[in-house]
A and B are shown apart, each in its own frame.
Chain A
Amino acid sequence: MNPLIINKEYTETIYLFNEAKADLHIVQQEASTLNLFVLHLTDLSCMQHIHIQQEGEHCRTNIYGLAVLKGKQEYLCDTLLEHQKENGTSTLIFKYLLFDEAKGEFVGRLKVQPNAQHTDASQTNRNIVLSDKAKMRTMPQLEIYADDVRCSHGATTGALDNEAIFYMQQRGLQKDLARQLLLQAFAEDIFEKMPIQQQEQARNLFTQRI
């Protein structure tokens, strides 16, 4: 598969809304920006590979993803972000919501090549598991070969906050509604990064899914 090239100083915004079949390979030239939004809100079980190379200096990469998995669904998202030249920045936030017996897996590979000094990269994977039988596996993998860089990563997997649910119930909200507000809040973090026009579509897909 030929990679998609983002030309020098261009900005490309890509939406993969329920299009997980499509693997993605993108090469960024100097001072280009990639905004990538991935939503996996269907019953489809699959593996998705996303490979981004910052081939030029001063590139910017933003990746935001959200998956809601149900039933016996399995979904693996494997990301590889390569910083190859100086002064690149990247932000990745990927979230999973797992119901029933769903299995989710997230691989966040971050590679900073020796030439990629002054890279500033952050990677976050947050997951909420809503049933005892659902499983989440998260694997951040950082390979850093340059010495003057800033890289951070964090991964958390937990249940819904019961104290927050009780707090809302104490104010008169039904338990189901409280749960729903928390789930929406969890997803909103991703939606609010999108341009206004896509936010509405994303919210609708999400509401139908949960």
Chain B
Amino acid sequence: MILSIKNLHANIGEKEILKGVSLDIREGEIHAIMGPNGAGKSTLSAVLTGNPAYTVTQGEVLFNGKDLLKMSPEDRAREGLFLCFQYPVEIPGVSMVNFMRTAVNEKRKYQGQKELTASEFLKLMREKKELVEIDDRLTKRAVNEGFSGGEKKRNEIFQMAMLEPSLSILDEADSGLDIDALRIVAEGVNKLHNDKNASIVITHYQRLLDYIVPDFVHILYEGKIVKTGDKKLALTLEQKGYDWIKDELV
């Protein structure tokens, strides 16, 4: 088991957003989480990654058997949790190369591995750049600075390839992407997927799931997972909209 969430409740300020989420994710699985705006989808990814804007009030999360909620955001990352941000942040003045080299080596140190030398690092970077088809142009600049929406998302996938997470969360990875950019992002995710890791794909629309095929689809509604199914559930949602779920719950 990679991730086990039990009865997770979380607030932003005084407002409860997650109202008892439970979810188990095993090696090799892709889980889609769908739901209307405001259901708590992005809150879930923020809470799992340790965003300080949210407070967990109840529940338990085990990540590879360890208590995730007790860890700092950086330790969660070093343990193998990766968030592909909905809105990747621009960091002027911090070069992509230095940023990635620091990130890769911080993770290696944490896991008791030797740091990569400059040439080992550059070799790794070349391999991963080819794998996710990212331009030299992007990795030579400051982190996300002046990147288009598509370039930012591609850069997230590149970082994911560099850090080889055991669990990656893609938060609305398709927002703001045209169909070509979407395909490249999805291909990257598919190439990185294997039977040892897992992904959570958070999305409002079914569209992305044509390219990243999930094993499970969960519907998050008003802070709870109200329905779980296979990929067909996403198609039903696409046809009937979210009102159907609301009606069914009454």
A residues lining the B interface (CB < 8 Å) = 161, 163-164, 166-175, 177, 181-182, 184-186, 188-189
Which 7 interchain pairs have the tightest Cβ spacing?
A185-B93, A169-B73, A172-B77, A171-B103, A167-B89, A172-B106, A169-B74
User: How many B residues have CB within 8 A of the partner chain?
Assistant: 29
A174 contacts across to B, CB distance below 8 A = 72, 74, 106
Contacting pair A161 B93 (CB below 8 A): no
A65 to B45, CA, bound (A): 41
Q: How far is the CA of A61 from the CA of B102 in the complex (A)?
A: 38
A-B contact pairs, 17 of them (CB 8 A): A164-B89, A164-B90, A166-B51, A168-B91, A169-B74, A170-B74, A170-B77, A172-B78, A172-B163, A174-B74, A174-B106, A177-B106, A181-B99, A182-B94, A185-B92, A185-B93, A189-B93
Whether the Cβ atoms of A167 and B51 lie closer than 8 Å is no
Q: Which of A172, A174, A181, A185 has the most CB of B within 10 A?
A: A172
B52 touches A171 (CB 8 A): no
In whole angstroms, how far apart are the Cα atoms of A189 and B94 in the complex?
11
The A interface, classified by DSSP as helix, strand, loop or mixed, is: helix
Q: Which residue of B lies closest to A169 (CB)?
A: B73
Given A167-B85, A171-B99, A182–B74 Cβ distance below 8 Å? no
B6–chain A nearest beta-carbon distance, Å: 23
Residues of B within 8 A of A186 (CB): 93
Question: Which residues from B are CB-within-8-Å of A172?
Answer: 74, 77-78, 103, 106-107, 110, 163
Q: Which residue of A lies closest to B110 (CB)?
A: A172
Expressed in whole angstroms, the minimum distance between the Cβ of B237 and any Cβ of chain A is 29
Q: How far is the CA of A185 from the CA of B91 in the complex (A)?
A: 8
Chain B hits for A168, CB < 8 A:
91, 99, 103
Q: Which residues of B contact A (CB under 8 A)?
A: 49-52, 72-74, 76-78, 82-83, 85, 88-94, 99, 102-103, 106-107, 110, 142, 159, 163
Give chain A residues whose Cβ lies under 8 Å from the Cβ of B91. 161, 164, 167-168, 181-182, 185
Residues of A within 8 A of B92 (CB): 185
B84 nearest in chain A by CB position: A170
Name the residue in B76, B89, B163 with the highest tally of chain A Cβ atoms < 10 Å from its Cβ. B89
Q: A161-B89, A181-B94 are in contact. List 20 more A-B contacts (CB 8 A).
A: A161-B91, A167-B85, A167-B88, A167-B89, A167-B91, A168-B103, A169-B50, A169-B73, A169-B74, A170-B83, A172-B74, A172-B78, A172-B107, A173-B102, A173-B106, A174-B106, A175-B72, A175-B74, A181-B91, A185-B94
What is the minimal beta-carbon distance from B169 to any residue of chain A, in angstroms? 10
